[in-house]
Each structure stands twice: as structure tokens, then as C-alpha cells.
Structure 1
């Protein structure tokens, strides 16, 4: 009988044999090496991540939505990325949809059977329209929930960015942009919350950060579209205004108040814009990019 060939995400690594008999430090060293090897897999994916980031930017510019579709650990990676985008880059929460099999967990209970629920996926994907972007994530690339979501979203005219850790993933059949994260087998066979999920999170973070840059929400490494809705972030916003314009603490606070917390407009006011209306107009002309708006002053 021909032995069954397991997907890479399910394969047992040779060096994991006898793992439970080893000293703590040696086990941890091997776990860390597994995480580092998973991250190294992103080197080959940079062109695809770039394509995906620009699809996301195009979607937001056109008034579309970004839908994260996944189950289990992959769903948590999508949630961690998507839920941060409104605060970090000032995107409207309405632009982001987190579609996770079984719903976003509110406790430690996350049943595994929900990943097979294609009916739930069909209900969730009904919100995805032509011109939207879907990020479907699955370590195996065969998880029914994101697979059905990507299939139906593509048919509806949405851009589909499909991320999987197995080369022959069925998910890629429905991809506008396919990202294969060629992570090695896990130290704990099949525990894709480890290396595979680490690579997924890094890819998602890189993708959404490049999107934020291309939308004009980053200037010299500073998040100039941040939503300053707590003490720490208000201090950060003031620091950004000071860093870019060289004004005093008092002036930074004053222009931020005039701009109702809009960091880009505050920077323009501190740089010589006559009033709030001119600052807003300059940003409209530049497509929201601060650098060309500053050059007009």
C-alpha cells in the first residue's frame, strides 16, 4: 500500500521525535527556531504581498470594504490585523468586515467544527460586493469556510487575496492574488497556530501597513492619520505634529484642537495654512497625501 502523503502543515518533523524528553531550554530553542524559519518564508512572497497591498488601497480609495474570511487561528490573525486598521490609519470601521467561522470569540471557547460551516460562509459573503477586497486565510488552504467565501466573493466581482501555507491549496483556485507562505512543518505537527500563523500575521501586517503608506497615512514612518482617542495617542499625535513642523508643545496642542484631532490638517495649520478649510482643500487636492500638500504652502 502506498503511504499517505500528508500536507506540509500536517507533517511531523524528524527533529521533533523525542521532543517531550528534552530539557525545557532545548524545547524552547526548537520552538523559537520553528518560528524564525516560518518568518523566513516571507522573503519569497514580497511581490505578491505588494500586489495585495495595492489591491487593498485601490479598494479603500474606491469606497469599498475589506473582508477578512477565515477560521480558527487564521481567523484570529485576520482579526488582529483588521481590528487595528481604523485606529492606526483612520479608516472607517465600516470599511472593515471580520468574517470568522463561528463568529469572533468572546471567550476561550472556539469550536473547531465551525470551520466546516459553508452555509454560514454563504450568509457572510453576501455582504461582499464587486470592487470589495476579500482576504481569505487558511493554513491548509482547504478549510471549507474561507474556501466557500473566496469562491463566492470572486464570482461577485470582489478582489480575492488568498493566503495559505500549502503549495497546492484549493484556496488558490479562487484567488485574484495568491500568497503561498511556504512555512516548514510545525515542531508540533499540525499546530498551525505556531509557525504558520506567525507567518500569516506578519504577511497581513506587512500588507495592511503598505496599504496605509500608499493611502498617504504614513509620513516618514509616522502615522499621520492616527485616531487619537486616548491619552497615549493624543500625546503621540502632538509629538507627530512637533516632529514634522518643529512647533512647540503649546502650538501642537492648539492646531490639533483647531483641526478637531485631524493630524494631517493640524500639521498643515502649523506649517502655514490659513485655516481649517484651506488645510482640508490641500489634502483633497493631494489625495490625502501630506507631503505634496505641504509643498503647496
Structure 2
């Protein structure tokens, strides 16, 4: 009999969870959740390799594909969806593929995760240098297997994110980001510790990729898409925080750059013109610090 993955084993610390008073039940869940960051921390060296591969892919005109089923796939969709408004990432550069398609976001699509061909089809059009990030808590989901195998065949980087040190899919991956969170509070409910670990991995991965690509200056967003009043105000706040200039000066800078935050920031920090700020950014591949170095004596 094949050994159960850690995510499917019974947790000896919670066998009497159904007998606990509500507060103690919540404490048991909270205590288990507290184990997650340490599991993610142990995986950071491999995750850093995945980040660097993704940065290289995106700088070279390639793409990153998140692939997952069930909770894993839903977390991937949420992470990818935030990258355009937060960092101005162009559509299609980082794409999430959920087994069962959009319908599976709100309701389980039975059997969708069992199709390896569907995983292959999801990442059709892969090119050498692209990155496939497959998320599977147990490390054995066929849908993810199909996508990882497709990546290997075309020379794309295959990355597995799992919670199983003995994940069967690890053989299909160039990198295995393993967050060994152990048995769940409720056996097999991988939306719990395993899901939290995958969310942390995705948050760390996408944030680090965006920072490495120069989509921030310091710890401030520089390509936020001002699609509503809140985000318009955030642009102004970012400029005042970054430069120390008063709001009226920052508004004038934004007007002079037609609302573009990066050239307004470079303009205010160097005293240059909008045209020179844009030119410096263009020659620096959009990285604010590099553009500033070009303009400063």
C-alpha cells in the first residue's frame, strides 16, 4: 500500500477536536496555523531559485503559468489577478490555470483535477524559458502533472509547490518548493495549513518577482493602476511618501507626466523634465533606482 502523503495523515494533536469547547477548538486551529511560517521559511532557498527563473523569463519576453486544482488553483487565480492593479503587470505575463476553468472558482468541478491532458492543454503554447509553477498540496495531482511534463518537454522551467517531501510530481520538476506542513487539523482538509503555506509561497513569489523587475521603488508601488478613486489617491500618497514633496507639488508632477507615477517620481527626485525622466526610465528598463543613477551626477 502506498504511504499517505503528510497532508492526508491523521493529526494526533486533534483527534478529540469534536469534543472541545469552541474556544479550545479555535486555539487548536490557531496553534496548527502557527506552524506554517516555519515550514515556508525552510523552503525559501528553493523559492528564491524559482523567483530568479521567473524574473529571467519575464525580462526575456516569456511568461509564467500558475497551474493548480481545487483550493491550490483558486489561490493561484487570486494571486495572479492582483498583479495588474498592484504592479501594472501586462495581461498574460503571469497567468493562472485552474482545473475546471472559471466555473471551478465558486464550485467544485468533479474530476477536473484528474485529467493530465487538460493540464497539458492549459499551458499550450509554452516556449523555452517560460516558467510553469504547479501547485499541488499532496504533490500528485494529474492536472498539474500534465502541465509540468509539458514544460519539461519544451525546455520551460518546471516548478512544483507541494507540502509533501516525497511528492511523486517532484520527478517532473526542476525545482521542488516543499513546505512540509504535516497533517491537518481536520484530516485531508488541505485548504488549512497546506493552503496557508501555498498562499504564503505565492505571495512571496509574486512580490519578489515584481520587486526584482523594478515594479517598486524602495517598498513603494510605482506602477499601481489607478482604476478607482482609492487608487488615484494612492498614487499621490506614494509620491509624497517617496519624495517628501507637498501634495500640490506631487499633483503638478503627475499632471506633467499624464498621470504616470514612475516618471513623476524620477522628476521630483532629480528636478529633471518629464521627457528626460521617461528617457532615463526607458534606458534603465523601467527600474527607478537605475534611472536615478543615470540622471544624478
Q: Shorter-chain TM-score: which interval?
A: over 0.9
Matched with 1:275 is 273
How far, CA to CA, are the matches of 1:118 and 1:194 in structure 2? 25
Structure 1 runs not aligned, ≥5 long: none
Q: Distance in 1 between matches of 2:86 and 2:198?
A: 19
For 1:106 and 1:138, how far apart are their aligned partners in 2?
16
Q: Distance in 2 between matches of 1:58 and 1:103?
A: 28
TM-superposed deviation, 1:106: 6.7
**Count of aligned positions:** 295
Give CA deviations for 1:8-66 in whole Å, capped at 9, x if unaligned: 11000112212111100111111111111122201211111111111111111111111
Residue number in structure 2 paired with 1:244: 242
SS at match of 2:35: helix
Contact kept? 1:37, 1:184, Cα under 8 Å: no
Quote the RMSD (CA, aligned, Å). 1.6
The C-alpha deviation readout for 1:140-172, integer Å capped at 9, x for no partner, is 110000111111112111111210111111221
What is the Cα deviation at residue 274 of structure 1? 4.1
Q: What TM-score results when the alignment is normalised by the length of structure 2?
A: 0.94
Give 1:41's aligned residue: 39
Per-residue CA deviation, residues 120-159 of structure 1 (Å, 9 max, x unaligned), is: 2222121322221111000011000011111111211111
Give 1:272 deviation, angstroms.
Answer: 4.1
Distance 2:292 2:113 in 1: 49
Unaligned 5+ runs, structure 2: none
Q: After the TM superposition, which residues 158-173 of structure 1 pair with which residues of structure 2 at under 5 Å, given as runs?
A: 158-173=156-171
| Runs (4+) off by over 6 Å | none
Q: Does 1:262 align with 2:246?
A: no
Alignment of 1:283-294 (within 5 A): 283-294=281-292
Q: What does 1:68-147 align with in structure 2 at a 5 Å threshold?
A: 68-105=66-103, 108-147=106-145
Q: 1:190: Cα distance to partner?
A: 0.5
User: How far is 1:266 from its partner?
Assistant: 0.9
8 Å contact kept, 2:70–2:104: no
Residue 271 of structure 1 aligns to a residue whose secondary structure is helix
**Is 1:38–1:184's contact at 8 Å kept on the other side of the alignment?**
no
TM-score (norm 1): 0.94
